[in-house]
C-alpha cells in the first residue's frame, strides 16, 4: 500500500452553466478503499462517470499507473482495468443474467461469428457460484430479479475480471443488510488483491468504517482528502457543508407551527402499478416528508395530490370538502406542485422568467387590474424574482439559460407569488448547490410560519430528517413506515423502512 494508482489532474466538466466538476486534482492509492463524499450535486457521479467513459472529459487528465487513460465508453474503461457499479440500475432489461455480466465482452464467447451461449452461461454460473449468489441463474432473463439481486449481479459484472479500480456509486442505500455485507466482502477482497475501490456513499458511519481515505467535494470543487482514522462524522459533515453554513443549515425546532387542523386528506389513493391504497392527512403549518427509493411510488404522490395522475382511484379532499381530481381544481383550491422533472414539467423553458412567474397567477393579476397589462405582469414578476433572489440579467431572460438552482427559484417564485396554501415540492433541491438549497430551506420555514403546509418529497434522507415535522417512507407503492421528527431518527432507521 502507499503507491499511487490513479492521479486526477485539473479535471473539469460543465453542463450548460453548471460547473459540475471544477478543476479537481487528487490521488488515489493502490490497495485502498477511497471514499468520495459530498452533498447531492457536488460532482461525485460526474467525476466517476468521466473515469469510466460514461461522460466525456472537458479538460484535465486521469493517470492510471503512470499512464494517461481516456476511455470513451465503459467497454474501453473495462479494458483499461476500470469498472463501475452505477448509481441507477446498471443492468439491461430483456437480456439474460449471463449476457448482462459479459455485456461488451461477447467476443470471448464468439467464434466464427457464432456466440457460444452454453459456454457463456457456464462461465456465468461458475462466477455466480464463486460469489455465493447460487440462487441467481445465469440463463434467466434479468427482469425476473428484483433491484437488489440486480445490484448483486452488477457486483459480479464489475469485479469478476479483477479490475484495477472499481467505482461503487451510492449502491449501499439500495441494498438490505445482507446485500451490503456481500458488497463489503467484495470491497475487502478487491483491496486485499492490491486493487482500488472508489466508494461513494452518503452514510457517514459506513464511510468511516469501510474506507481508508476520504475525499470531499463541494459544489464541484475539491475540498480535502483525509485519512478515515483521523476524522469523525462531525468533521466530515463540516467539510461537506462548509463552515460558514454550520448550525443553521436545517431547521432547529420541529412541530412548533403544526396545528391540529387538517388541510388535506388523502384517502385510499391507488394508481395502477405505482401506488396502492395510500392514506394520510396533511396539517396546517406542517412539513410532511415522503422518502423511499426512487421507484417506491413517492414521486407519484405529488402528482396524485395535484390531480395529475392517470387512472387514480381514492380521494384527495381539501378542508372545505372539495375533491381534487384534476389540475385546474387543484390550482383553484390553492394547491401548488413542483415536479422532480423540473425541466420538462415545471418550467416553460422557452419562455421568459417573467412569464413563468406570472403563469399560475394570471387570474389574480386580471382580477386586480381588470385586464392583463404588461406593467402589472412586470411588477409582479420582478417582485417575486427579487424575493427569491433569482440570479438573472432581467425577467425577460429565457429560463433555459439559467442554472439548475435558479430555475428552481423561478419555479418556487411562481407558486409563492400565487400564495398557495398547500405546496407540494418534489425533490426541490435536486442538483442544486448548497447556498441555493439554504435559500429554499429558509423559504420553506417562512411558509410554514405563515400557516402554509408543505409536502416535501425527497430522495435525500438528511434533508427529510433536517426539514420535516413528520416523515412517511414509501416502499413498493405503499406506505411502509411513518416517523415523527420528535423521535431521534437517523438515516439507517429510514433506510430500513425503504428496502
> Considering beta carbons, is residue 15 or 254 the nearer one to Mg ion?
15
Question: Taking CB under 6 A as the rule, does residue 44 contact ligand ADP?
Answer: yes
**Binder among 30, 45, 271, 465 for ligand ADP (CB under 6 A):** 45
Residue spans of alpha helices (H) in 193-232: 204-210
Query: Could you tell me if 401 and 385 are in contact, meaning their C-beta atoms sit under 8 angstroms apart?
Result: no
Set of cell numbers at residue 335: 394547491
**Binder among 34, 46, 175, 211 for ligand ADP (CB under 6 A):** 46
If phi > 0 it is left, if psi is from -120 to 50 it is alpha, else beta; for residue 321 that is left
> Considering beta carbons, is residue 386 or 435 the nearer one to ligand ADP?
435
Candidates 15-23, 185-193, 441-449, 483-491; binding stretch for ligand ADP (CB under 6 A): 15-23
Candidates 33-41, 158-166, 375-383, 438-446; binding stretch for ligand ADP (CB under 6 A): 33-41
> Considering beta carbons, is residue 182 or 460 the nearer one to Mg ion?
460
**Binder among 5, 24, 35, 40 for ligand ADP (CB under 6 A):** 40
Query: Rounded to whole angstroms, what are the CA distances from 270 to 55, 237, 313, 340?
Result: 38, 39, 5, 20
> Considering beta carbons, is residue 40 or 270 the nearer one to ligand ADP?
40
Q: How far is the CB of 45 from ligand ADP (least distance, A)?
A: 3
Query: Could you tell me if 101 and 157 are in contact, meaning their C-beta atoms sit under 8 angstroms apart?
Result: yes
> Considering beta carbons, is residue 43 or 307 the nearer one to ligand ADP?
43
3-state secondary structure of 88: coil
DSSP letter assigned to residue 108: G
Residue nearest to ligand ADP (CB): 431
As a whole number of angstroms, the distance between CA 158 and CA 171 comes to: 13
> Considering beta carbons, is residue 80 or 169 the nearer one to Mg ion?
169
Exposed, middle or buried, 119 (CB in 10 Å: 0-12/13-18/19+)?
A: middle
**Binder among 5, 41, 251, 460 for ligand ADP (CB under 6 A):** 41
> Considering beta carbons, is residue 54 or 208 the nearer one to Mg ion?
54
Q: How many residues bind ligand ADP (CB under 6 A)?
A: 13
Instruction: Please choose which of ligand ADP, Mg ion, none residue 172 contacts, taking the beta carbon within 5 to 8 angstroms, the exact cut-off set by kind.
Output: none
Q: How far is the CB of 43 from ligand ADP (least distance, A)?
A: 5
Residue nearest to Mg ion (CB): 45
* Mask for 211-250, x = binds ligand ADP (CB under 6 A): ----------------------------------------
Q: How far is the CB of 26 from ligand ADP (least distance, A)?
A: 15
Q: How far is the CB of 29 from ligand ADP (least distance, A)?
A: 22
Indicate the helix (H) or strand (E) that contains 365: helix 362-369
Set of cell numbers at residue 163: 479490475
> Considering beta carbons, is residue 87 or 445 the nearer one to ligand ADP?
87
As a whole number of angstroms, the distance between CA 290 and CA 475 comes to: 11
Report the length, in residues, of the chain. Answer: 499
The single residue listed with the C-alpha cell 425546532 is: 253
Candidates 35-43, 232-240, 282-290, 436-444; binding stretch for ligand ADP (CB under 6 A): 35-43
Candidates 36-44, 146-154, 224-232, 292-300; binding stretch for ligand ADP (CB under 6 A): 36-44
Instruction: Please choose which of Mg ion, ligand ADP, none residue 242 contacts, taking the beta carbon within 5 to 8 angstroms, the exact cut-off set by kind.
Output: none
Interacting residues toward Mg ion by CB under 5 A: 45, 87
**Binder among 6, 30, 33, 43 for ligand ADP (CB under 6 A):** 43
Question: Taking CB under 6 A as the rule, does residue 38 contact ligand ADP?
Answer: yes
Question: Taking CB under 6 A as the rule, does residue 404 contact ligand ADP?
Answer: yes
As a whole number of angstroms, the distance between CA 68 and CA 62 comes to: 6
Query: Could you tell me if 264 and 319 are in contact, meaning their C-beta atoms sit under 8 angstroms apart?
Result: yes
As a whole number of angstroms, the distance between CA 82 and CA 200 comes to: 15
> Considering beta carbons, is residue 50 or 416 the nearer one to ligand ADP?
50
Q: How far is the CB of 291 from ligand ADP (least distance, A)?
A: 16
Query: Could you tell me if 24 and 11 are in contact, meaning their C-beta atoms sit under 8 angstroms apart?
Result: yes
Query: Could you tell me if 254 and 265 are in contact, meaning their C-beta atoms sit under 8 angstroms apart?
Result: no
**Binder among 6, 11, 18, 339 for ligand ADP (CB under 6 A):** 18
- DSSP states of 20-38 as a string? EEEEEEEEEETT-EEEEE-
From the list 203, 148, 161, 164, the residue with the least C-alpha distance to 35 is: 203
From the list 488, 459, 452, the residue with the least C-alpha distance to 473 is: 459
> Considering beta carbons, is residue 235 or 431 the nearer one to ligand ADP?
431
Q: Is the alpha carbon torsion for 105, 108, 110, 112 positive or negative?
A: positive
Neighbour count for residue 386 (Cβ, 10 Å) = 11
Q: Which residues bind ligand ADP (CB under 6 A)?
A: 15, 18, 20, 38, 40-46, 404, 431
Amino acid at each position: 500500500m502507499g503507491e499511487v494508482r490513479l492521479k486526477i489532474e485539473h479535471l473539469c466538466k460543465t453542463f450548460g452553466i453548471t460547473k459540475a466538476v471544477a478543476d479537481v486534482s487528487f490521488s488515489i492509492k493502490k490497495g485502498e478503499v477511497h471514499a468520495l463524499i459530498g452533498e447531492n450535486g457536488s460532482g461525485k457521479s460526474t467525476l466517476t462517470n468521466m473515469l469510466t467513459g460514461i461522460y466525456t472529459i472537458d479538460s484535465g487528465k486521469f493517470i492510471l499507473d503512470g499512464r494517461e487513460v481516456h476511455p470513451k465508453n465503459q467497454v474501453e474503461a473495462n479494458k483499461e482495468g476500470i469498472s463501475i457499479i452505477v448509481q441507477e440500475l446498471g443492468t439491461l432489461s430483456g437480456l439474460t443474467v449471463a449476457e448482462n455480466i459479459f455485456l461488451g465482452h461477447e467476443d470471448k464467447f464468439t467464434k466464427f461469428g457464432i456466440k457460444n451461449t452454453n459456454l457463456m452461461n457456464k462461465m456465468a454460473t461458475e462466477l455466480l457460484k464463486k460469489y455465493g449468489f447460487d440462487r441467481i441463474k445465469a440463463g434467466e432473463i434479468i427482469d425476473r430479479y428484483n433491484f437488489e439481486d440486480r445490484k448483486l449481479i452488477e457486483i459480479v459484472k464489475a469485479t469478476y475480471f479483477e479490475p484495477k479500480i472499481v467505482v461503487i456509486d451510492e449502491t449501499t442505500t439500495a441494498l438490505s443488510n445482507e446485500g451490503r455485507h456481500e458488497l463489503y466482502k467484495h470491497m475487502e477482497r478487491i483491496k486485499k488483491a492490491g486493487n482500488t475501490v472508489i466508494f461513494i456513499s452518503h452514510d457517514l458511519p459506513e464511510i468511516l468504517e469501510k474506507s481508508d481515505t476520504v475525499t470531499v467535494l463541494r459544489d464541484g470543487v475539491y475540498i480535502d482528502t483525509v485519512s478515515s482514522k483521523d476524522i469523525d462524522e462531525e468533521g466530515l459533515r463540516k467539510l461537506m457543508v462548509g463552515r460558514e453554513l454550520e448550525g443553521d443549515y436545517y431547521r432547529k425546532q420541529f412541530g412548533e407551527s403544526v396545528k391540529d387542523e387538517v388541510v388535506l386528506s388523502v384517502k385510499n389513493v391507488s394508481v395502477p402499478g405505482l401506488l396502492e391504497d395510500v392514506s394520510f392527512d396533511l396539517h396546517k403549518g406542517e412539513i410532511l416528508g415522503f422518502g423511499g427509493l426512487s421507484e417506491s411510488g413517492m414521486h407519484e404522490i405529488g402528482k396524485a395530490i395535484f390531480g395529475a395522475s392517470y387512472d387514480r382511484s381514492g380521494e384527495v379532499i381539501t378542508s372545505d370538502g372539495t375533491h381534487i381530481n384534476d389540475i385546474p381544481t387543484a390550482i383553484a383550491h390553492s394547491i401548488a406542485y413542483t415536479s422532480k422533472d423540473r425541466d420538462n414539467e415545471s418550467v416553460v423553458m422557452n419562455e421568459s422568467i417573467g412569464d413563468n412567474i406570472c403563469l399560475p397567477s394570471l387570474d389574480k393579476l386580471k382580477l386586480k387590474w381588470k385586464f392583463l397589462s404588461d406593467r402589472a405582469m412586470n411588477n409582479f414578476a420582478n417582485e417575486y424574482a427579487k424575493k427569491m433572489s433569482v440570479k438573472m440579467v432581467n425577467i425577460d431572460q429565457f429560463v433555459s439559460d439559467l442554472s439548475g438552482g435558479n430555475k428552481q427559484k423561478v419555479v418556487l417564485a411562481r407558486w409563492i407569488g400565487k400564495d398557495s396554501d398547500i405546496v407540494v415540492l418534489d425533490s426541490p433541491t435536486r442538483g442544486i448547490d448548497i447556498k441555493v438549497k439554504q435559500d429554499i430551506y429558509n423559504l420553506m420555514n417562512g411558509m410554514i410560519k405563515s400557516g402554509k403546509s408543505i409536502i416535501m418529497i425527497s430522495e435525500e434522507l438528511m434533508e427529510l430528517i433536517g426539514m420535516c415535522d413528520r416523515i412517511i417512507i414509501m416502499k413498493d407503492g405503499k406506505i411502509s413506515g411513518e416517523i415523527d421528527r420528535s423521535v431521534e431518527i437517523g438515516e439507517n432507521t429510514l433506510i430500513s423502512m425503504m428496502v
